[in-house]
Amino acid sequence: MSSVGEDEVSSFFESSPPLKNMEDILEKLNGFIELNSSGGRRIVCVTSGGTTVPLEQRCVRYIDNFSSGNRGAASTENFVKAGYAVVFLYRSGTCQPYCRSLPDDPFLECFQFPDKTNIQVHSSHVEAVKMAVMDQQAAVAEARLLKLPFTTIYEYLQMLRLIATALKDFGPCSMFHLAAAVSDFYVPWNSMTEHKIQSGSGPLDISLAQVPKMLSVLRTNWAPKAFCISFKLETDSKILIEKATKALLKYQVHAVVANELSTRKEEVVVVSSSGNVVVRRDSDKPESIVEDNLIRLIVDRHSTYIKESHT
Which residues of the chain form contacts with ligand PMT (CB under 6 A)? 67-71, 178-182, 184, 211, 213-215, 230-233, 259, 264
Smallest gap from Cβ 221 to ligand PMT, in A, equals 13
Smallest gap from Cβ 182 to ligand PMT, in A, equals 4
Secondary-structure percent of the chain, ordered helix, strand, coil, rounded to 5: 45, 20, 35
User: How far, rounded to the nearest angstrom, does the alpha carbon of residue 240 sit from its chain's CA centroid?
Assistant: 20
Between 37 and 94, CB nearer to ligand PMT: 94
Smallest gap from Cβ 265 to ligand PMT, in A, equals 8
Q: Is 183 left (phi over 0), alpha (psi -120 to 50) or beta?
A: beta
Between 87 and 211, CB nearer to ligand PMT: 211
Smallest gap from Cβ 263 to ligand PMT, in A, equals 10
Strand partners, 228: 176
Say if residues 305 and 227 touch (Cβ distance below 8 Å): yes
Q: Tell me 144's DSSP state.
A: -
Between 3 and 37, CB nearer to ligand PMT: 3
Smallest gap from Cβ 143 to ligand PMT, in A, equals 26
Say if residues 60 and 30 touch (Cβ distance below 8 Å): no
Report how far residue 133's alpha carbon sits from residue 154's, in angstroms, rounded to the nearest whole number.
32
DSSP 3-state of 274: coil
Between 81 and 250, CB nearer to ligand PMT: 250
Position 86: which residue type? V
Between 36 and 51, CB nearer to ligand PMT: 51
Smallest gap from Cβ 114 to ligand PMT, in A, equals 37
Between 37 and 221, CB nearer to ligand PMT: 221
Say if residues 74 and 34 touch (Cβ distance below 8 Å): no
- Is the C-alpha dihedral spanning 145, 150, 156, 158 positive or negative? negative
Between 259 and 293, CB nearer to ligand PMT: 259
Smallest gap from Cβ 34 to ligand PMT, in A, equals 27
Nearest to 281 by CA among 263, 303, 302: 263
